[in-house]
Structure 1
Amino acid sequence: MEVGHGRAWIDQDAGVRIGYTLAEPAGTPQESGKTVLLVHGAPQTRYAWRKVLIPLAEAGYRVVAPDYRDAGASTKPRDGYDKWTMAADLHTLLHDHLGIDGPVSVVGHDLGSMLAFGYALRYRDDVVSLTTMEAPLPGTGYYEQRKIAKSAWHFDFHAHPDIAVHLTHGRERWYITRFFDDLTYQPDAITGDDIDVYARAFEAPGAMRALCEIYRELDHDAAVHRDAVASGGKLTVPVLASGGGAQTLAANYQPMCEEIADNVTGHLVPDAGHWVPEENPDHFTRMFLDFDATARTR
């Protein structure tokens, strides 16, 4: 088992550098031809996948867990936070920097699901399967309903970066803790030490501003995704619509994905709230492996 970390220049002119973790099974992982891309959500970094990296690598996958632009070890440029551009960052990381050949399985959580969806639309031939968890996907009717709900207040708040950054400055740890307190079902799944990791990431200069830019682009993303579905049709790769079984919103995810994909499987993770891979990593791993194995036989 090999686990390593790196930072890759994606666009030196624009100053875009992406941090990532790469976990590989022992031997020559290229022979298996299986790669999974794990795209974290917010307010998190690739650290969110820490409990599933090794189990997935032990199952024979090359596992790539990047920090998308803004997060963690990645740079925080002034722009480029639409999901089409952010998907290009990850595609360049995989195929140009890491030299991965062939299509990959793409897994997203929270904002990462929105980005994973954009990736699957932009690079249809380079995706084996798509797993989405815990997010309304821009371009769907459910996204339009969800973004105006009272409990989704942070969509509008973050879409005004000057206000959000001013009000959260110096209070980043308190602010992000609120999301974990409200959305966690397993109280011991995310510890104070884990919160420290995330808090340090969003206390970094430019991090909160860049996070807000990701949200500010969501309505634009919705228009781009709708156009992509209208011109290219629904996704034909297998799609797993998942979320924490303890979340009341999770029942919406399968019908949402059926709006944008022909082959959708719904599977909720028991004993988990919003933070699925941290709250029930064993079930998440089994769920993904079973789903992806079936997807790869198509």
Structure 2
Amino acid sequence: MDTAVVKANGLEFGYLSIGDGPLALCLHGFPDSAHTWRHLMPELAAAGYRAVAPFMRGYAPTSIPPDGAYQSGALAADAVALHEALGGDSDAVIIGHDWGAFATYGAAAFAPDRWRKAVTLAVPPVNAMMGTFFSYEQLKRSFYIFLFQTPLAEMAFDRSFVEGLWRDWSPGFDAAEEIDNVMDCLATPDNIAAAIGYYRAMLDPTRLVNAYAAEQASASTTGERPILYLHGAQDGCLGADVVDPSAVLPHLPPGSRAEIVPDAGHFLQLERPADVNRRILDWLLP
């Protein structure tokens, strides 16, 4: 796996890459890193793609945005700018997990001519969750979102907190290597504030940066590029009881699919790589 840096959307993005061919842009979530795609990327390369996994804005070695923008629209703008900077064309595909899924929905809807297909994991479109997110059980799972709105967030955020999230979200999975990678990305107070900033932008409209208004609007539209949506049956972050494929499909573009992956939690691409990789490659390959 190669490592490099590219400038896009005014930021320096560190990234991992492997292979040659059409761009397959792989976007990670929280609390995670570009290494989350280490099982998928070689298979994408073997299938004829140039697989690229950037570290998301604010996650070292990628720079921290000076405007403090962490809204979904900013993430979508990053994905579009990375497509341009990395020489992508209309055969490019985009794959996103967790916050990377938010970026994928927005980028695919905002710039459909740049992507042939898309894949999202673990977070469906926001509109697909509105009827079930506020159930008591899901609110308990989502405690961290509300904690992150407070000044206590930075005080609570340390390795043990991240370990607890992984333990709850992907029960039974040995995440020691993943957590090492996460803590490398979030080693400074500024990086931690950036990761928390994604959640503060989610619920606080005063944190939205107007420069990304068009991309922000696209992030909540259905779009036109078909999407494969995958969700772990044992996801402890966003419960499978909240994500019924039949309820998700109406909020995805025509020709899309939504599937539950058995015996997998929130980080399904790491927990069940053979199953998840097969589903993704079956979807992407012509």
TM-score range, shorter chain: 0.7 to 0.9
Residue 5 of structure 2: which of 7, 29, 32 is its match?
A: 7
Q: CA RMSD in A?
A: 2.6
Q: Which amino acid aligns with 2:267?
A: W
State how far apart, in whole Å, the 1-side matches of 2:49 and 2:244 are. 26
What CA deviation, in whole Å up to 9, does each residue of 1:86-134 have, x standing for no partner?
22222222212x2222242111111111111111121122121121111
The count of residues paired between Structure 1 and Structure 2 equals 271
Residue 56 of structure 1: which of 37, 44, 54 is its match?
A: 44
The answer on whether the counterparts of 1:185 and 1:271 sit within 8 Å (CA) in structure 2 is no
Residue 180 of structure 1: which of 147, 166, 169 is its match?
A: 166
Match of 1:135 in 2: 123
State how far apart, in whole Å, the 2-side matches of 1:116 and 1:260 are. 12
State how far apart, in whole Å, the 2-side matches of 1:17 and 1:144 are. 39
Residue 211 of structure 1: which of 167, 188, 195 is its match?
A: 195
Match of 1:283 in 2: 275
The answer on whether the counterparts of 2:72 and 2:219 sit within 8 Å (CA) in structure 1 is no
Which residues of structure 1 form unaligned runs of 5+?
none
Q: Which piece of structure 1 moves more, 151-160 or 251-260? A: 251-260
Once the 2 structures are TM-superposed, how far is the Cα of residue 136 of structure 1 from its aligned partner? 4.2
State how far apart, in whole Å, the 2-side matches of 1:167 and 1:246 are. 26
What CA deviation, in whole Å up to 9, does each residue of 1:44-81 have, x standing for no partner?
11011112211221121110111110113111224121
The answer on whether the counterparts of 1:134 and 1:250 sit within 8 Å (CA) in structure 2 is no
Q: Which amino acid aligns with 1:174?
A: S
1:245 aligns with 2:233: yes
What secondary structure sits across from 1:107 in the alignment?
strand
The answer on whether the counterparts of 2:124 and 2:229 sit within 8 Å (CA) in structure 1 is no
Match of 2:35 in 1: 47
Match of 1:17 in 2: 12
Residue 89 of structure 1: which of 57, 78, 90 is its match?
A: 78
Relative contact order, higher structure (CA 8 A, sep 6+): 2
Q: Which amino acid aligns with 1:46?
A: A
State how far apart, in whole Å, the 1-side matches of 2:170 and 2:13 are. 28
Residue 223 of structure 2: which of 204, 226, 235 is its match?
A: 235
What secondary structure sits across from 1:250 in the alignment?
coil
State how far apart, in whole Å, the 2-side matches of 1:185 and 1:71 are. 25
Normalising by structure 1, what TM-score? 0.81
The answer on whether the counterparts of 1:243 and 1:268 sit within 8 Å (CA) in structure 2 is yes
State how far apart, in whole Å, the 1-side matches of 2:64 and 2:197 are. 10
1:150 aligns with 2:136: no
Identity of aligned residues (%): 23
What secondary structure sits across from 2:31 in the alignment?
coil
Normalising by structure 2, what TM-score? 0.85
With over 3 angstroms needed to count, the CA separation of the structure-2 counterparts of 1:250 and 1:240, relative to structure 1, is farther
The answer on whether the counterparts of 1:37 and 1:106 sit within 8 Å (CA) in structure 2 is yes
What secondary structure sits across from 1:102 in the alignment?
coil
Once the 2 structures are TM-superposed, how far is the Cα of residue 253 of structure 1 from its aligned partner? 5.2
Q: Which piece of structure 1 moves more, 282-291 or 253-262? A: 253-262
Which residues of structure 2 form unaligned runs of 5+?
none
State how far apart, in whole Å, the 2-side matches of 1:124 and 1:291 are. 17
Once the 2 structures are TM-superposed, how far is the Cα of residue 158 of structure 1 from its aligned partner? 1.7
Q: Which amino acid aligns with 2:119?
A: T
Q: Which amino acid aligns with 1:158?
A: F
Q: What aligned pairs does 1:67-78 form with structure 2 within 5 A after superposition?
A: 67-78=55-66
With over 3 angstroms needed to count, the CA separation of the structure-2 counterparts of 1:224 and 1:179, relative to structure 1, is farther
The answer on whether the counterparts of 2:24 and 2:50 sit within 8 Å (CA) in structure 1 is yes
State how far apart, in whole Å, the 1-side matches of 2:4 and 2:28 are. 17
